[in-house]
Chain A
Amino acid sequence: MLLVRTSVALVGATCLVSFAPLATGQDAVDTGAGTGADTKTASGKLGATSHGEAGDQSWTVRLGLYDRDDSGGGGGNPFLDESLTIIEPAVIYDNQVSDDFGYDVKFSYDLVSSASIDGLSDYPASAQSGASGDNYFSLDFGFRHKLSNTDNLSWHIDVATEYDYTSFGVGGGWSHEFEERDASLSLNLNLYEDIIQPIRFDGSTDADESRTSIAGTIGWYQVLGPRTHGEFGLTFSDQSGFLETAYNYVIEENSVSGSAVPNQSIPVVGYIDTEELPDSRTRTALFGRVRHGLSDTDAIELGARLYDDDWGIAAWDLTPRWLHEFESGLLMDLRYRYYTQDAADYWSESFTGTGPTADLPTFRTQDSDLGEFNSSLLGSHWMWGREKQWDLGVNYLSRSDGLDHIFLSLGWTTSY
């Protein structure tokens, strides 16, 4: 079987892609074995149940670009310029050592340019200049074991670091196929331990904080018909520790006793204080998608997700897609995604008070990502070649609060 391994980068995502050869019968169906459970996740790494032939190797080079232009702070938080650009090159090596064991290694680097980091330079006396906090490195190791014709096991270890953040991750997944591969069950568990040095909006620093994230996913893949299959799953996650964004702040507008707050996108009189959020969070996400083949070269898909957490955010998204393979072998994937979310209980577009920041709620945020909004995405992904494969993804997302962004991905993989 020809295996083409591809990884997706931009803020760190890697996975395996399995192209089953056209054939008939059982051997032809190598799709979806391992919903969720074969996903090594928080770093976005998938795979592990896709076993190639012993000796298969591949190298992938990938470049991701994310850009959000909020010049002047017109979108999202009105006081804050939330412009952000991330450029991420990544290299991935994959080796199928034997019929039942393989591994992959991924190194990625993120160059992050954000108005939030640059904003630290507005405070000359700050402990850190903005320029020193925008480099992120990560190294991921993934291992996959074929336990039997029906059972697969995967596990991973990761480390990531930047100026004020270090993360260690470990996790694993198990999948089991049923009934001549008509279905498979998968279980996945991941644990991340993060260490954060809080650098506040004015450049001051607090003592190191920690954050623990643990998540489990149960998934089910099912062949629903000769031309239809789908996968469904439930993820439960729990986070504890420092869950704020250290440099986020809130503005208490108070024109009576306050004073002009410096370095804001719009003039404001009042007080400024740090964002405060609870030190625990549990999330539940129910998701699924069904794909139906219209012909040998066309397929449509509908995906959906429901989300709920104990910070008060409820959200859902819906993603219809169309895939088409041209005679040349070029594979086109067009998608639309609609997403909507409620605001977190602690979010407010504006805070007002009668006195200094002591009047603010214990938990408060003006982070636009925790506010109420909806978004629409139009995306396309193009892929061509087999042993030497190229792919290009172009996506534009429009948000109701004005924080539109674009993200691109360009990859090249050689297999031998």
Chain B
Amino acid sequence: MLPRDHGAGPTLAKNMRKILIPLALLLAASSCNTVEFYEKGELSSPVMDMGQERTLSAFHQKVHYSTEGAAGGLGTTAGGGCGCY
């Protein structure tokens, strides 16, 4: 049987945690600065609409999670309902 390229998952996963967790904390800390209401208009433009993104996320995640070992995150319960993961 020929060996296949499976990538470098474990090491990269650990490195990603070191990067992303501090990044999340940094972003959370930055949220302490309140944005005035009159400054928020641009957040309502169609390209900034994250509600629309949740639609897409549900679609993508359902496909991904039923074909990958890792299920769970925004928009899913990581199990049940379709028998696919």
Contacts and interface: CB of A to CB of B under 8 A. Distances in A.
A193 B83 CA distance: 11
Given A39-B58, A233-B73, A315-B70, A192 B20 contact: no
A158 B82 CA distance: 11
A293 B45 contact: yes
A9 B21 CA distance: 32
Contacts of A299: 45, 47-48
Contacts of B52: 6, 17-19, 383
A180 B37 contact: yes
A169 B27 CA distance: 35
Interface string B43-85: 1111111111111111111111011111111111111111110
Nearest to A347: B69
Contact of A20 (B37, B49, B53, B59): B49
Interface in B1-54: 1, 4-10, 12-14, 16-17, 20-21, 24, 27-28, 30-31, 33-35, 37-54
Interface in A61-103: 64, 66, 68, 78
B66 A11 contact: yes
Contacts of B31: 182-183, 222-224
Contact of A400 (B5, B20, B80): B5
Contact of B47 (A10, A66, A167, A293): A293
A237 B16 contact: no
A54 B58 CA distance: 26
B44 A31 contact: yes
B59 A28 contact: no
A204 interface: no
B7 to A, nearest CB: 3
Given A222-B31, A284-B72, A341-B70, A32 B51 contact: yes
Contacts of B4: 400-402
Contacts of B12: 316, 340
Interface stretch (A116-124, A141-149, A353-361, A370-378): A370-378
B43 A227 contact: yes
A342 B64 CA distance: 15
A315 B69 contact: yes
Nearest to A158: B81
Contacts of B5: 400
A350 B1 contact: yes
Nearest to A324: B47
A107 interface: no
Interface string A266-281: 0000000000000001
A24 B38 contact: yes
A64 B28 CA distance: 37
A372 B16 contact: no
Given A182-B34, A293-B48, A400-B4, A227 B82 contact: no
A343 B7 CA distance: 11
A25 B36 CA distance: 8
Nearest to A238: B79
Contact of B43 (A31, A337, A340, A375): A31
Contacts of A183: 31
A115 interface: no
A291 B48 contact: yes
Contacts of A290: 27
Interface string A335-371: 0010111111000011000000000000000000111
Contacts of A313: 69-70
Nearest to A161: B83
Interface of A: 6-26, 28-32, 35-36, 39, 41-46, 50, 64, 66, 68, 78, 136, 138, 158, 160, 162, 165, 167, 169, 171, 179-180, 182-183, 190-194, 196, 211-215, 217, 219-227, 229-233, 235, 237, 239, 281, 283-291, 293, 296-299, 301, 304-307, 309, 311, 313-318, 323-325, 331, 333, 337, 339-344, 349-350, 369-375, 379, 381, 383, 393, 395, 400-403, 405, 407, 409
Interface of B: 1, 4-10, 12-14, 16-17, 20-21, 24, 27-28, 30-31, 33-35, 37-64, 66-84
17 contacts: A6-B52, A10-B62, A15-B55, A15-B75, A136-B83, A167-B82, A179-B34, A194-B81, A233-B73, A237-B72, A291-B53, A297-B45, A314-B13, A318-B16, A342-B10, A373-B6, A401-B6
